[in-house]
Structure 1
Amino acid sequence: MSKRLLRSGLIVSTMTLVSRVLGLVRDVVIANLMGAGAAADVFFFANKIPNFLRRLFAEGAFSQAFVPVLTEYQALDKDDKHRTQSRELVANVVGTLGGLVTIVTLLGVIGSPVLAALFGTGWFVDWLDGRPDGAKFELASLMLKITFPYLWFITFVALSGAILNTLNKFAVSSFTPVFLNVAIIAAAIWLSPYLAQPEIGLAVGVFIGGLVQLLFQIPFLSQEGMLVKPKWGWHHPGVVKIRKLMIPALFGVSVSQINLLFDTFIASFLMTGSISWLYYSDRLLEFPLGLFGIAIATVILPALSQRHVDKSPTQFAATMDWGVRMVLLLGIPAMVGLILLAKPMLMVLFMRGEFGVEDVQAASLSLVAYACGLVNFMLIKVLAPGYYARQDTKTPVKFGVIAMISNMVFNAIFAYLFSYVGLAIATALSALINAGLLYQGLHRAGVYRLSRATALYIGRLVVAVAAMVAVLMTLMPTLNGWVEMSLSMRSMVLAGLILGGSVVYLCTALLCGVRLGDIRHRG
Structure 2
Amino acid sequence: MSLFKSASTVSLLTLASRVTGLLRDWLMASAFGVSGLTDAFNVAFRIPNLLRRLFGEGAFSQAFVPVLAASKERDGIEATRHLIDAVATALAWALAATCLAGMLAAPLLVLLLASGLDAASFEAAARMTRWMFPYIGCMSLVALSAGILNTWKRFAVPAVTPVLLNLCMIAAAWLGAPFFARLGLEPIYAMAAGVMLGGALQLAVQVPALRRLGLLPRIALSWQRLRAAWADAGVRQVLSLMLPALLGVGVAQLSLLINTQIASHLAKGSVTWVWYADRLMEFPTALLGVALGVVLTPQLTAARASGDGAAYSAMLDWGLRLVLLLGLPCAAALLVFGTPLIATLFHYGQFSAGDVQRVALALAGYGAGLVGLVAVKVLAPGYYASLDIRTPVKIAVAVLALTQCLNLLLVPHLQHAALTLSIALGALVNAAWLLRGLRRRGSYRPQPGWRLFALQVLAATLLMAAFLLWGSRHFDWIALRAAPLQRVALLAGLMAAAGGIYFGALAAGGVRLRQLARR
TM-score, normalised relative to structure 1: 0.95
Distance 1:494 1:367 in 2: 17
Alignment pair present for 1:164 and 2:160: no
How big is the shift at 1:479? 5.5
Q: Which moved more, 1:190-199 or 1:330-339?
A: 190-199
Aligned counterpart, 1:245: 241
SS of structure 2 residue aligned to 1:270: coil
Aligned counterpart, 1:213: 202
Structure 1 residues 79-118: aligned runs within 5 Å: 83-118=77-112
Describe the superposition over 1:229-271 as per-residue Cα deviations: whole angstroms up to 9, x where unpaired.
2242112111111111111111112222111111101111111
Distance 1:164 1:250 in 2: 23
Structure 1 residues 42-61: aligned runs within 5 Å: 42-61=40-59
Aligned counterpart, 1:285: 281
Aligned counterpart, 1:128: none
2:382 partner amino acid: G
Describe the superposition over 1:269-318 as per-residue Cα deviations: whole angstroms up to 9, x where unpaired.
11110001001111111111111111111111111011011110110000
Alignment CA distance shift 1:466-1:191 (3 Å): same
SS of structure 2 residue aligned to 1:191: helix
Structure 1 residues 24-423: aligned runs within 5 Å: 24-78=22-76, 83-123=77-117, 133-195=118-180, 196-231=185-220, 232=226, 233-423=229-419
Contact 1:318 1:521 in 2 (8 A): no
SS of structure 2 residue aligned to 1:234: helix
Contact 1:54 1:155 in 2 (8 A): yes
Alignment pair present for 1:492 and 2:489: yes
1:377 partner amino acid: L
Alignment CA distance shift 1:422-1:467 (3 Å): same
Aligned counterpart, 1:503: 500
Aligned counterpart, 1:130: none
Distance 2:457 2:160 in 1: 31
Describe the superposition over 1:11-67 as per-residue Cα deviations: whole angstroms up to 9, x where unpaired.
101110000000000000110111111111111110001001101111111111111
Q: Which moved more, 1:394-403 or 1:252-261?
A: 252-261
How many residues of Structure 1 are paired with residues of Structure 2 in the alignment?
A: 507
How big is the shift at 1:76? 3.4
Q: Which moved more, 1:436-445 or 1:381-390?
A: 436-445
Contact 2:369 2:427 in 1 (8 A): yes
Distance 1:332 1:42 in 2: 34
Distance 2:310 2:75 in 1: 25
SS of structure 2 residue aligned to 1:32: helix
Aligned counterpart, 1:12: 10
Aligned counterpart, 1:129: none
Describe the superposition over 1:454-498 as per-residue Cα deviations: whole angstroms up to 9, x where unpaired.
222111100111121233334445353652461111111111111
Distance 2:469 2:462 in 1: 11
How big is the shift at 1:77? 5.0
Aligned counterpart, 1:126: none
Task: Give me the identity figure in percent.
Answer: 39
Q: Which moved more, 1:277-286 or 1:410-419?
A: 410-419
How big is the shift at 1:324? 0.5
Contact 2:14 2:160 in 1 (8 A): yes
Q: Show structure 1 runs of 5+ residues with no match.
A: 124-132
Q: Show structure 2 runs of 5+ residues with no match.
A: 221-225
1:470 partner amino acid: A
Aligned counterpart, 1:512: 509
Distance 1:344 1:270 in 2: 25
Query: Which residue of 462, 465, 469 maps to 2:461?
Result: 465
2:492 partner amino acid: A
Distance 1:266 1:256 in 2: 16
Distance 2:383 2:99 in 1: 30
Describe the superposition over 1:329-372 as per-residue Cα deviations: whole angstroms up to 9, x where unpaired.
11111111122210011111100111011100111111111111
Describe the superposition over 1:199-248 as per-residue Cα deviations: whole angstroms up to 9, x where unpaired.
11100100110000000111111111011322421121111111111111
> What's the C-alpha RMSD, in Å, of the aligned pairs?
1.4
Describe the superposition over 1:107-131 as per-residue Cα deviations: whole angstroms up to 9, x where unpaired.
00011011111111223xxxxxxxx
